């Protein structure tokens, strides 16, 4: 998607996130947090030229994107260079923790399109943004897919990481818009 | 996770989804999907098709053998969850027009998975005769 589309989605998701109770709705609050974070990160990655703005969308298969056919009557899938990334699957940072390798990227005998190569190395701001996403991502499998308690400490850590991420992305997008004008 | 743990998560997520305004159709779809996956795992554990230590995360990531097995036992449920996954690509990660209708449909699909899961019973191999 285009940067503006990511930001539009992000703003609506951010409002929905605030409508949920961190304790009573902890699972969906978390899921809204990571969904909004994904939109923000993709806007940031496009803004600095690490990934392409395109009219196709990531599937659950890394490197495989879906888009409307030319006659707009069906959908087709293509293996493409990195456009929008699906954060739970995308290893952005070579030093990322284990979460980034789930599901297995290239288990023996399985077909894999491999790790997406970004168009340019991550700038420092986005490396910092990736670290905030890692804080949030580390909660996904144990506490949402699994039974590990989503403690007030984890919620606070996710909340802080999210705020930090949003700050980084907003500044980055504003800077690139200013540079372009 | 045990079936009861899946059921508890599924019900909590579904209840929270009620609080989402449908203008944020992305989270209606995500809530329906996330709850449905817990219901699918609930069903598969109850049917003794998968072990409690082996939860499904994405139906597209299933091995051919597992997908074939589940497709034979619960074809409608598998197709329903697959449809929910396509909504995530097109309306949550994507911006295809029709998100509101997709959210409505996602809740219907969720109800189908939930209903099938509640009715799930241990699978007994039928006699060929």
Q: Among B44, B114, B13, B106, which Cα is nearest to A28's?
A: B13
Give the rounded percent of residues in chain A with a pLDDT score beyond 90.
55
What lies within 8 Å, CB to CB, of A82 at 6+ separation is A45, A50, A51, A52, A63, A90, A116, A117, A118, A119
Distance from C-alpha of B18 to C-alpha of B22, rounded to nearest angstrom: 9
Residue B12 forms part of a structural domain: yes
A19 contact residues in B (CB cutoff 8 A)? 19-21
Q: Let me know if residue B123 belongs to a domain.
A: no
Helix (H, G, I), strand (E, B) or coil at A67: strand
Number of domains in chain A: 1
- Residue A61 in this model has a pLDDT that exceeds 90: no
Q: Is residue B86 part of a domain?
A: yes
Report if residue B128 sits inside a domain. Answer: no
Total beta-carbon pairs less than 8 A apart between chain A and chain B: 89
CB contact under 8 A, B89 and A66: yes
Length of chain A: 181
Residues of chain A with C-beta less than 8 angstroms from the C-beta of B26: 9, 12-13, 35
Closest Cβ opposite residue B21 in set A1, A16, A145:
A16
- Residue A58 pairs in a beta bridge with A65
Does any domain span residue B26?
Answer: yes
The CA distance from B95 to the nearest CA of chain A, in Å, is 7
Tens place of pLDDT per residue across chain B (129 aa): 999 999 999 999 999 999 999 999 999 999 999 999 999 999 999 999 999 988 988 888 888 888 999 999 999 999 999 999 999 999 999 999 999 999 999 999 999 999 999 999 888 766 655
Q: What is the pLDDT of residues A139-158, one digit of tens each?
A: 888 888 888 999 999 999 99
Contact list in A for residue B86 (CB cut-off 8 A) is 75
The structural domain count of chain B equals: 1
Beta bridge partners of A66: A57, A77
**Is A149 near chain B, with CB under 8 Å?**
no
Helix (H) or strand (E) holding A76: strand A75-79
pLDDT tens readout for residues A75-127: 999 988 889 988 655 555 444 433 333 444 444 444 444 456 678 888 888 88
Residues 64-103 on B with a CB inside 8 Å of A are 85-86, 89-90, 92-96
So what's the pLDDT on residue A89? Answer: 52
CA distance A110 to chain B (A): 10
The residue range of the domain holding B59 is 3-118
- Please state whether the peptide bond connecting residue A103 to the residue before it is cis, i.e. omega within 30 degrees of 0: yes
CA distance linking residue A52 with residue A104, whole number of Å: 25
Average pLDDT over residues A59-66: 86
Q: CA angle, corner A102, sides to A99 and A104, nearest 5?
A: 140
Of A35, A58, A61, the CB nearest to B27: A35
Distance in angstroms (rounded) separating the CA atoms of residues B42 and B48? 10
* DSSP annotation of B1: -
Say if the Cβ atoms of B93 and A58 lie within 8 Å. Answer: yes
In a domain, B127, yes or no: no
- How high does pLDDT run on average in chain A? 84
* pTM score, whole prediction: 0.90
Structural domain that includes position A51: 3-180
Count of C-beta atoms within a 10 Å radius of residue B76: 10
Tens digits of per-residue pLDDT, A28-51? 999 999 999 999 999 999 999 989
Contact A35 B55 (CB under 8 A): no
- CA–CA min distance A56, chain B (Å): 7
- Interchain CB contact of A31 with B (< 8 Å): yes
List B residues 15-54 in contact with A (Cβ-Cβ < 8 A).
15-17, 19-21, 23-24, 26-27, 30-31, 34
């Amino acid at each position: 998607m285009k940067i503006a589309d990511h930001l539009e989605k992000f703003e609506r998701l951010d409002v929905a996130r605030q409508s949920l109770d961190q304790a009573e709705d902890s699972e969906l609050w978390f899921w809204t947090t990571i969904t909004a974070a994904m939109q923000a990160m993709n806007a940031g990655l496009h803004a600095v030229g690490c990934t392409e703005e395109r009219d196709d969308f990531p599937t659950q298969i890394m490197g495989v994107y879906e888009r409307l056919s030319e006659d707009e009557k069906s959908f087709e899938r293509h293996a493409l260079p990195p456009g929008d990334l699906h954060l739970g699957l995308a290893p952005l940072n070579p030093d990322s923790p284990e979460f980034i390798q789930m599901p297995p990227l290239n288990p023996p005998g399985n077909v894999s399109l491999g790790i997406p190569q970004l168009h340019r190395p991550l700038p420092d701001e986005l490396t910092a943004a990736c670290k905030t996403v890692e804080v949030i991502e580390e909660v996904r499998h144990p506490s949402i897919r699994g039974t590990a308690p989503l403690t007030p400490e984890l919620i606070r850590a996710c909340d802080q990481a999210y705020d930090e991420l949003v700050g980084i992305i907003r500044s980055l997008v504003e800077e690139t818009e200013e540079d372009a004008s | 996770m045990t079936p009861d743990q899946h059921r508890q998560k599924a019900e909590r997520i579904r209840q929270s989804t009620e609080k989402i305004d449908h203008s944020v159709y992305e989270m209606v779809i995500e809530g329906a999907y996330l709850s449905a996956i817990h219901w699918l795992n609930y069903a598969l554990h109850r049917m003794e098709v998968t072990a409690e230590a082996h939860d499904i995360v994405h139906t597209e990531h299933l091995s051919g053998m597992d997908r074939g097995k589940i497709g034979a036992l619960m074809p409608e449920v598998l197709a329903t969850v697959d449809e929910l996954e396509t909504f995530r690509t097109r309306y949550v990660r994507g911006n295809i027009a029709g998100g509101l209708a997709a959210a409505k449909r996602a809740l219907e699909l969720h109800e189908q998975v939930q209903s099938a899961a509640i009715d799930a019973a241990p699978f007994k191999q039928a006699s060929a005769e």
